[in-house]
Structure formats: structure tokens, C-alpha cells
Structure 1
Amino acid sequence: MLRFPTPLLATRLGVLAAAALFATACDKDENTASAPSQVNFTQTALYPEGTQYDEKNSHFLVSSQTAGRIGQVLDDGTYTQFADDAQLISTIGMKLDADRSRLLVAVSDPGYNATRTTAATLKKLAAVAIFNRDSGAKTGYVNLGALRPSAAAHFANDIAVDNAGNAYVTDSYAPIIYKIDVNGTASVFLENSALAAPAGMFGLNGIVYHPNGYLLVAKSDEGALLKVPLATPANFTKVTATGLNLAGDDGLQLLDNTTLLAACNAQGQVYRLSSTDDFVTVSRTGSFATGDVYPTTLARRGSESYVLYSYLNALQKMQSPPVSQFSLTRIAF
């Protein structure tokens, strides 16, 4: 028989429910409050492009176009080396695959690491290095450019991982998205001349996996956003973004099934894009101005998003003295 609570019991239940709601709200407030608005770290001429946040180990991870090594950054700005290897010429985008306890790192050679660049790798390298997320030990290295040795140039830029553990990697100098399966076997996932960019310009850039079975990919030279089905990649389409200027779109971050963040470095903006039709179209629902810091990639920390102030524009201009302080800034719309 269904029994209804007595008035006293109902009162107690109400108090407990209110307390639970209050505790949840407090936890949320405390989590937000404990996330710093900005983390500044000093490493002269480091010029990081990629970042991720490791919840388990409570640190940000950052790459370096000039040193190659992977660094870890604490909230107080302490920077220490997380991993390094002679094969890391310039490290670009990164993807922390927490489910498999690994960090995947895009490796290229734009010529900024004077101690490791070679004639054989300069603007010809597209690779992915894989590290244990706890120890920093290198567990794999995949030379993707070797799949298309005749291409005029290569530049591995960013990485997405699907639910099965397959990785997808953009090449900014060749019109290619690579795939590395869970066994480490590499292949060309998509190659199409329509994905090409003018010589010397970045084409394919940031990439994220959508759980509905497709990739969202930034194409920087056009300021375009592409939708690439995993089952039929040749049927990729351009997401309609009427009235939006996404020029220089770089790092992408999927917040939920309908919301995407896009860092547009040359604009000094991070845009929040929303879709009601499974990313056939998007509209802008927020923007965050960074200033002239060349924002590149994004890290998710709990319910917060951080954007990396890379200052790669200063590196490209060979600014002297070089930039010494870099930042990870919490985005607020």
C-alpha cells in the first residue's frame, strides 16, 4: 500500500532536500571559486600552442614550438617538465585521453626549434607522440607524413579521440585528416583538394569529436567550420555560420552536444557557438575578447574553460626580446 509521509516526516524530508540542494550549490560555488581566473607562468621563449588540463594530477599541460618538450603548470604558476624526447621538434596540439591514461601530442617542424630542426623534417613533419599521462613516459610515436611522402609540406596540428579510442589528426599544410586506430595503425582518413590552403597558410586546424558520430574541424584560411561524418568522411560539409566571422579559427572545444567554443587567434576572440540542428548551422551566443595574445587552444577544467595565450604572433615576427610570460585564462561570457 502506498503510504504518504506524515507532516513531521515531510518537514524533515524537505529540510534534507533543501540541505542537499544547498550543499550542491555550495560545491559548485566552491569549485568555481577554487578555479583561478588566470594562471601565469614564466618560461622565456617557450611559445606553447596546445594545452590540456589533467583533473587527476591537478595540472595543466602545455606544448612548445621552440623547445619541443611538454610542460606541466600548477595553479601558482610553477612550470616543470612533464616529458621530453629528441623526436619532439615542435609540439603543437594535444589531447588527453583520460580513459586510456595517455596524452597524444601533435609533432611538427615549423623551424622554430633551432636545436632539433633538420632539413629532412623542416615543414615536412607530421607525427604524433604518445605518453603515459601519469609518468610522462613515451609509449609510442607515429610518423603520419610518411603516408604521403610526396606532399609539398606537412604540419600535424591538432588531435581528437572518439569513444573507441581512435585518434584523428589534422594536417595544416596538406589537405589530410589522419586516423590512428587503437592499435597504433595509421591511415589517411580523409584527403581532398577542397581542404587545401594556399602555400604557407594554415588550412585544417582544430578538431573535436562529436558523440553523434562526426568530427568538427576548423579551417583557418577560410574561417570555416567543417562537419566530417566518421562513417562517410568524403561526405563532409561546411557548417553554415551566417553573419559570423570565424577567420583564424584554431582550437575547438565541445562543451555539450549543442555548444562549441572556437578560439580565433588573429581576431583575439573566443566565440561560443550554438546549434539546434546537429551542427548543420551555428549561431554565436557569446564572445570573449583576449586582446593581442594570439589565443590558440582550450582546456576544460571541471565546468570551466581556459584559453591559452600563446603569443605565437610574437614568435612569427621573431620579436626581440622574446615573450617570457604566458597565461591560461578562464573564459567568462
Structure 2
Amino acid sequence: MVKQILLTLILLFLAAPTHCRKRHVIDIRWPNLYPESFTWDPKSDHFIAGSLRRPQLISVSDAGVVSALLSDDSLPSNSSFVGISLDPRLHRLLVVVRGFSPPFSALVSYDLPTFRQLFLTPLDDLLPSAIGANDVAVDYSGNAYVTDSVNDVIFKVTEQGKATILSRSQAFKSYPVVDHTVPYHNCGLNGVIYNPKGYLLVTQSNTGRLFKVSVDDGAARRVILNKDLTAADGIAVRGDGVVLVVSQHKLYFLKSQDSWSEGVVFDETALEEERHASAVSVGAENRVYVLYGHVNEGMMGNTERDEFSIVEVESEKESKEENVWIFVLIGVGLVYFLIWRFQMRQLVQDMNKKTA
């Protein structure tokens, strides 16, 4: 009887997490922040977010405690922090800076945890036309890779802050814009992540494509997917290799078996369009979060808001698969219990026969 009760309690414990854990929602209260990008800092157990309205960084705890980290007076006051990447090896933060009047694009590096500026690298002189720097990723050697959404170019910035053009591949120009009437029709290369095997994965908003780009020579090719990533924006990767691509409409879950020559969108989760998610990040315990920064409203420049949020998003398909495995484990446990009970009954009967 004791073993039966113990087994029941164990099974209930195993089943409970899939039904009881609530989606994690972090409310951010900060006047006119309009954050477009964010990243998770595992050392401080905080998110770091940048403002679209000013060159400012804030820290956000999982309980929603918000504190100012940095306001960079060396940058134009109307600059935006549009892309953020953490460099864990060199303990620094890389931030894409963009100004609109006059046009200005740069990459700035800050030391962690002091937030002392290490370098400020302008990118505008690398091309004859205006640049629209957007997102950034960093490799294990300290090189940063910055996307240019206006010209479909990827820049490389060394650990010391020297900038060059990594790729202006014709592959980026080979696919038609999905719809010239949508707001993102002129937004090309956007989110970027680095893979330790020596390549980048880069989203392209106005075509819904995903590209694999070599960090050695900038050679690029389209990743063959089972569907387009409509309005693709930020990108991140989980510890298990699942790639996450966020758009205003959905969060896409992707995986590949051949180092991203091909891939599959195996699930997608609808998002709240009016809150305009623009970035995705992986936090503690491999949990996936999107940033609702209302960036479409923030870009207008004449609006005010002080409420934003970071929201956990799960794959419904993965959750169902986890539930199936829980029930399988419960079933196996019950089978073992019934076998044990049958054997014990037989043992008792045999002992009774011997003593009779």
C-alpha cells in the first residue's frame, strides 16, 4: 500500500509541470522606451533592452524590476539602439546605433559590467549610399557582423573596431519583394545569428527568406525551407539548436538536419500584432521570449507610451509532444507497478500453500 501511494505521488509530480507552469510575462514600465531589441545576460540574470527613441540601455529582471544601465552622451540624442548582442567571452555588449536625421549608422561596444565605451565604429563610409544598420551577432573570436537592411549588405567589425564589408552577395538580390504595399517592403537583411561552424543565419524581411552566409568569404545561399518567413525580423537560437524567427505576426520555430542547407518550419505561434514584436531571445532554462516594443508606434516620433513587455512563447507542438512522453512514462510506471503487484500476490499465495 505504501509503495502504491508513493508511486502515485511520483507520477503526479511528473505530470504537474506541463499543466501548472504559467507563461512568463514581464511588464516593463519606462517612459517612451519603445525597445526594438533585447538580449539575455546570464551573469546578471537580467534582460538588457535598448531604446528606439534615445541611446539608452535598461536592465529588466524576470520580476519586471527595471533600472537604467547607460545613456551615451557621445551619440546624437535622437539615436536609436536597434540591435544588441552579448559577447560572453570578452565580457562586452555590442550595440547597433542608428540615426535618421541626419542618417547615421555605427557599431558601439561597451564593457561589462562597467558599460565603459570600448569603441565606436561608424559604418557610413563603407558604402556610397545611405546605410540602414540593423542587427548584430558576434563570433568566438570577437568579430561582430552587422546587417544593413537598406543595401542588403553584411559588415564585419573586428574586436578592435575595424570595419569592412563581409558580403554583398547577389543572392540577397535574387528573390522578389513579397508585397510592395507592406510597411517592411524596403527592409532587406535584418536579424542575424552566428553558428560555431563558421556561418551566419540571416533573415530578410521583405522576401521572407533565410540565408546562410560564410564568415570566411561572405558567400551566401538561401536556406531551402518548407515555407517563407513572412515579415521576418529578429532571430535567435535555443540550446538544442532550434532556430527562432520573430515577425510582427508570428514566432517561427525551425530546425535543420544538414547545417542549414535545408530546414523546416515545424511550428509557428501567433503573436499580438498590434503590440509589434520585433525581437526574440532565449533566457534562463532555455525559455523563449519575444519583445513587444510597439516599434511601429515608436517610429512615428510623436507618440507617448510607458508600458511594454517581454513575454514567454512556447511551441504548441513541442508542448503536446512533451505531454505525450509524460503519459508514456506514466503508462510504463503503471505497467511496472501492476507487474510488481502480480508478482507479490503470487509470492504470497505460494507462501500460503507451503505453510498450509
TM-score for both structures, normalised by structure 1: 0.79
Q: Kindly indicate whether residue 91 of structure 2 is the aligned counterpart of residue 101 of structure 1.
A: yes
Cα 1:161–1:269 shift into 2, 3 Å: same
C-alpha deviations, 1:174-233, integer Å up to 9, x for none?
A: 221110112221111112455368897111100001112110000111011000112231
Task: Give ranges in structure 1 of 5+ residues lacking alignment.
Answer: 1-21, 111-117
8 Å CA contact 1:161–1:209 kept in 2: the answer is yes
8 Å CA contact 1:160–1:208 kept in 2: the answer is yes
Tell me the distance in 2 between the aligned counterparts of 1:204 and 1:143.
19
8 Å CA contact 1:272–1:285 kept in 2: the answer is yes
Tell me the distance in 1 between the aligned counterparts of 2:92 and 2:312.
25
Give the alignment partner of residue 244 of structure 2, picking from 237, 261, 271: 261
8 Å CA contact 2:23–2:313 kept in 1: the answer is no
Tell me the distance in 1 between the aligned counterparts of 2:169 and 2:105.
17
Tell me the distance in 1 between the aligned counterparts of 2:280 and 2:111.
21
Tell me the distance in 2 between the aligned counterparts of 1:319 and 1:38.
28
8 Å CA contact 2:52–2:298 kept in 1: the answer is no
Cα 1:286–1:188 shift into 2, 3 Å: same
8 Å CA contact 1:210–1:254 kept in 2: the answer is no
Give the alignment partner of residue 192 of structure 2, picking from 207, 224, 242: 207
Q: CA deviation at 1:36?
A: 7.1
Tell me the distance in 1 between the aligned counterparts of 2:143 and 2:299.
33
Tell me the distance in 1 between the aligned counterparts of 2:137 and 2:146.
7
Cα 1:200–1:259 shift into 2, 3 Å: closer
1:57 aligned partner, one-letter code: S
8 Å CA contact 1:57–1:134 kept in 2: the answer is no
8 Å CA contact 2:135–2:191 kept in 1: the answer is yes
Q: Rg larger in 1 or in 2?
A: 2
C-alpha deviations, 1:21-78, integer Å up to 9, x for none?
A: x9xx99xx7xx97x97011111232111110111111211101111221111122322
8 Å CA contact 1:220–1:249 kept in 2: the answer is yes
Q: CA deviation at 1:256?
A: 4.5
2:110 aligned partner, one-letter code: F
Q: Kindly indicate whether residue 119 of structure 2 is the aligned counterpart of residue 140 of structure 1.
A: yes
The worse-fitting range, judged by mean Cα deviation, of 285-294 and 43-52 is 285-294
Give the alignment partner of residue 58 of structure 2, picking from 71, 75, 79: 71
1:167 aligned partner, one-letter code: A
Tell me the distance in 2 between the aligned counterparts of 1:299 and 1:307.
6
Q: Which residue of 2 aligns with 1:92?
A: 82
Q: Which has the higher helix share?
A: 2
Tell me the distance in 1 between the aligned counterparts of 2:287 and 2:241.
17
Q: Which residue of 1 aligns with 2:294?
A: 311
8 Å CA contact 2:279–2:291 kept in 1: the answer is yes
- Spell out the pairing of 1:121-200 with structure 2 (5 A cutoff): 122=103, 125-148=104-127, 150-151=128-129, 153-192=130-169, 194-195=171-172
Identity of aligned residues (%): 27
8 Å CA contact 1:258–1:279 kept in 2: the answer is no
Tell me the distance in 1 between the aligned counterparts of 2:36 and 2:267.
23
Give the alignment partner of residue 290 of structure 1, picking from 271, 274, 297: 271
The worse-fitting range, judged by mean Cα deviation, of 289-298 and 213-222 is 289-298
Size of the aligned set, in residue pairs, is 287
Q: Kindly indicate whether residue 260 of structure 2 is the aligned counterpart of residue 279 of structure 1.
A: yes
Q: Which residue of 1 aligns with 2:352?
A: none
Task: Give ranges in structure 2 of 5+ residues lacking alignment.
Answer: 1-9, 316-356
8 Å CA contact 1:263–1:271 kept in 2: the answer is yes
- What value does the CA root-mean-square deviation take over the aligned residues? 2.5
TM-score for both structures, normalised by structure 2: 0.74
Tell me the distance in 1 between the aligned counterparts of 2:239 and 2:214.
18
1:273 aligned partner, one-letter code: L
8 Å CA contact 1:83–1:137 kept in 2: the answer is no
2:66 aligned partner, one-letter code: Y
Q: CA deviation at 1:135?
A: 1.5
Tell me the distance in 1 between the aligned counterparts of 2:165 and 2:70.
28
Q: CA deviation at 1:85?
A: 1.2
What is the DSSP-based 3-state SS (H/G/I as helix, E as strand, rest coil) of the residue aligned with 2:35?
Answer: coil
8 Å CA contact 1:91–1:108 kept in 2: the answer is yes
Tell me the distance in 2 between the aligned counterparts of 1:107 and 1:190.
20
2:200 aligned partner, one-letter code: L
1:298 aligned partner, one-letter code: V
2:257 aligned partner, one-letter code: T
